[in-house]
Chains A and B, each alone.
Chain A
């Protein structure tokens, strides 16, 4: 139970963490994205910001070089501008410098490392600001000198649009965007107001309104682009994050599985020791009883031998004493009676037979114990399942003989199956002991009733089937799915580790590629059906 739950909680925790980090495919406005960005862990936020900055630098490309080109071209083609150069030299110079600066810093930004990106980004933004200011100033000055001619109005609009785009595209961070907006808006609003104030014409007013609305529209559009970009970056980072977490979870899970496996091995070992310890006490008793009566019989035989020797001597004495060399039958009968010869003659063979039986019983138990605990090889070997079951019944006799009889119907033609004999012994032992306990539990109140454990084997097409059933207390319906879970036990603390059936499952299903099935009715009994394949599937796949 435990390992499974651990696995589950691990993955739960992982997905929960991802839900915290980002809500994918969710409509979010710019401010939400920004706050989301700020909620990210510091290193992750820097990663996203750095990524955006680099992208920005890359996208800028050679475009900033256009600013100085435009500035120079304007000066060349427009006599008016040349005329007013004493006013226009500052924004023109600004455009040239900022255009070049933006270009070079953009290059640098595109290749900057994560941890060294803050500085070029700052300078890049400074150049952006300078260029925007220069454009604004340029436009304002042209309008001022041309006093509302259509050309100057066009230049003005283009300028505002360009600044808006540049503002929009540079402001991936909220605070910066607001700064830019304030700084930008001042010259634009000032120049618009000035123009509108000088030329009180409807034409100019229209331009003025456009001059305010247009950059707002463009700015919002730019902002939306940035938001999309930011969103993409955030999602990407979240995805990366998720895959990272998934990977981590996977590794953790593997580690946990490994640990579980190690624990399982240990537990299996512990359970084996537990059952062997339990068996040892029972086996001691099983052996003690024949030892007791073999000893008693031997002692009797010794005494009987002495008695017969004495009888022989008495008979001899009787014969020697007989005057005429004749001894009457009566005299002998009296003597024989005195030494209880009849009894001795009757009991001596019996005691020999019983002693022999006792000795073979001891030998059987010792042999079964030896076979049962035989370590077996690491490789699968051909196992005689019938023999394994008989051995297990023998060593566990003391566990069941007081509560139940065993009805054992083993198919004589049962083929050998590839397997680990010791593990299989362990499985049969667990099942028999469980059956005995179930019967004991059911018949606790009535001592006289004995239960029945049915064990049978039979051969099937590509497997053999082993059925171990009892008429004990059975398993409640609600618990039946849990019986193979490790640590699941209904026994009192200290009475069972809850490993028995879990081990049975792992041995039959995992190690032997077999099947195990449980069928139980509360109060009527439990039946386990196991199938072991005749062909070693693991081996087959390896070849």
Chain B
């Protein structure tokens, strides 16, 4: 089945140009072109689209309004902004509804690549209901303490961007969102950024302030609404931080370059994003799932598949992918319980996170952290199985260092 892509722009020439330059995709995509937001809404009333790419500033309904409407009517649609505008206030309005921001002029290859990638991501989560839930997510819950610290910092006059970045890097939800912003063409430079402090520096204090305080890109965790047994956000944070540091240590032990070390650190931080998504979107089912795992000592991934029709790794990866986070991070998150599904073998953030997660969860009894198995075949294939003992030692060092 061909994917259905909708382009919206008030400039007919631009639509014509896109139509021509994306002609090579005609075998895979059914492309539709709407000259206005109203027209786009009308078109989407028929068969829904997989991806919508909209201009920002149009007479009548603007891009932000269109995406808002579409996200309410057809939440499973992947929504992108393609704008030549540098008006930050306007872009901020679209921040909650757009998954990605592309900047005009944008090479047809990039458009092709971005759309292809988001279509491919759908294969991670085959369940349509879950797809809808993930595409609807505007922000993920953050730790109240960190959230308050951040808003205090942003409200004070003497906040340095360095300090803001450090606070953000404590919380996986914040880290993922800030990377979405900085990796988008509008706010950032559109190149691979995986360091939250660097991301904060690139956005600048003013933009961060408006993103956090006005656009509300971070969501404060509501402990009452999300009261699931003894699942606590704090425990998940602690686990994520531990995995993150361990993955970094593993990467360092392999003599990886700086970028790789940072990617590993980040992949570790974000690897359980899927749990946040599930907890936030489906609290009741998460409760049931948790009971089942806990009572029957059932295998976690199998139970997840049974209850949600997807595992938390893939769910998290789907969201991060939609947010255009770097590919290797998405891969690491998606397959951290199932590394053999990944396309390549060798040392990667995926491997580091897989090992770190397995080691860290082995002796954890926390509700939010469920023991993960180590895929020895994969390690064998990557030729690193011999170093497992060394890494286990790193884990023990970290635990002791932490205590």
In residues 18-63 of chain B, which contact A (Cβ within 8 Å)? 18, 20-21, 23-24, 57-61
Question: In the bound complex, what is the Cα–Cα distance between A281 and B20 (angstroms)?
Answer: 28
Counting CB contacts under 8 A, is A296 at the interface? yes
Counting CB contacts under 8 A, is A288 at the interface? yes
Interface membership of chain A positions 273-310, coded 1 if the CB is closer than 8 angstroms to chain B and 0 otherwise: 00000000100110111111111110110010000000
Asked if A297 contacts B104 (CB within 8 A), the reply is no
A residues near B21, Cβ cutoff 8 Å: 295-297, 299-300, 303
Contact of B18 among A284, A287, A296 (CB under 8 A): A296
Counting CB contacts under 8 A, is B148 at the interface? no
Asked if A284 contacts B17 (CB within 8 A), the reply is no
Asked if A351 contacts B16 (CB within 8 A), the reply is yes
Contact of B17 among A287, A288, A294, A402 (CB under 8 A): A294
Q: How far is the CB of B23 from chain A (nearest CB, A)?
A: 6
Asked if B107 contacts A295 (CB within 8 A), the reply is yes
Contact of B104 among A289, A350, A450 (CB under 8 A): A289
Specify the main secondary structure of chain B where it touches its partner: loop
In residues 338-355 of chain A, which contact B (Cβ within 8 Å)? 347, 350-351, 354
Contact of B20 among A300, A401, A450 (CB under 8 A): A300
Question: In the bound complex, what is the Cα–Cα distance between A288 and B17 (angstroms)?
Answer: 13
Counting CB contacts under 8 A, is A140 at the interface? no
Contact of B108 among A296, A358, A402, A403 (CB under 8 A): A296
Counting CB contacts under 8 A, is B85 at the interface? yes
Asked if B86 contacts A292 (CB within 8 A), the reply is no
Question: In the bound complex, what is the Cα–Cα distance between A477 and B86 (angstroms)?
Answer: 37
Question: In the bound complex, what is the Cα–Cα distance between A109 and B58 (angstroms)?
Answer: 92
Given A288-B105, A291-B104, A401-B59, answer yes or no on A296-B17 (Cβ-Cβ < 8 Å). Answer: yes
A residues near B83, Cβ cutoff 8 Å: 285
- Residue pairs across A and B with CB atoms within 8 Å: the count is 81
Asked if B13 contacts A285 (CB within 8 A), the reply is no
How many interface residues does chain A have, given as a range? 20 to 34
Counting CB contacts under 8 A, is B84 at the interface? yes
Question: In the bound complex, what is the Cα–Cα distance between A347 and B61 (angstroms)?
Answer: 30
Contact of A288 among B13, B16, B61, B84 (CB under 8 A): B84
Question: In the bound complex, what is the Cα–Cα distance between A296 and B24 (angstroms)?
Answer: 12
B residues near A289, Cβ cutoff 8 Å: 11, 13-14, 84, 104
Asked if A291 contacts B108 (CB within 8 A), the reply is no
Interface membership of chain B positions 72-105, coded 1 if the CB is closer than 8 angstroms to chain A and 0 otherwise: 0000000000011111000000000000000011
Counting CB contacts under 8 A, is A357 at the interface? yes
Asked if B23 contacts A293 (CB within 8 A), the reply is no
- When C-beta atoms are compared, the residue in chain A nearest to B16 turns out to be A354
Q: How far is the CB of B47 from chain A (nearest CB, A)?
A: 24
Counting CB contacts under 8 A, is B213 at the interface? no
Counting CB contacts under 8 A, is B106 at the interface? yes
A residues near B106, Cβ cutoff 8 Å: 292
Counting CB contacts under 8 A, is A541 at the interface? no
Asked if A297 contacts B20 (CB within 8 A), the reply is yes
A residues near B14, Cβ cutoff 8 Å: 289, 292-293, 296
Counting CB contacts under 8 A, is A448 at the interface? yes
Given A290-B13, A292-B104, answer yes or no on A351-B59 (Cβ-Cβ < 8 Å). Answer: no
A residues near B57, Cβ cutoff 8 Å: 285, 402
B-contacting residues of A (Cβ < 8 Å)?
281, 284-285, 287-297, 299-300, 303, 347, 350-351, 354, 357-358, 401-403, 447-448, 450
If A289-B104, A299-B20 are given as contacts, then 9 extra A-B residue pairs at C-beta distance below 8 Å, sorted by A number, are: A284-B84, A287-B84, A288-B105, A291-B104, A292-B14, A295-B21, A296-B17, A401-B59, A447-B60
A-contacting residues of B (Cβ < 8 Å)?
11, 13-14, 16-18, 20-21, 23-24, 57-61, 83-87, 104-108
Q: What are 8 inter-chain pairs, A to B, with CB distance below 8 A?
A: A289-B13, A289-B84, A290-B13, A293-B18, A350-B16, A354-B13, A403-B59, A447-B60
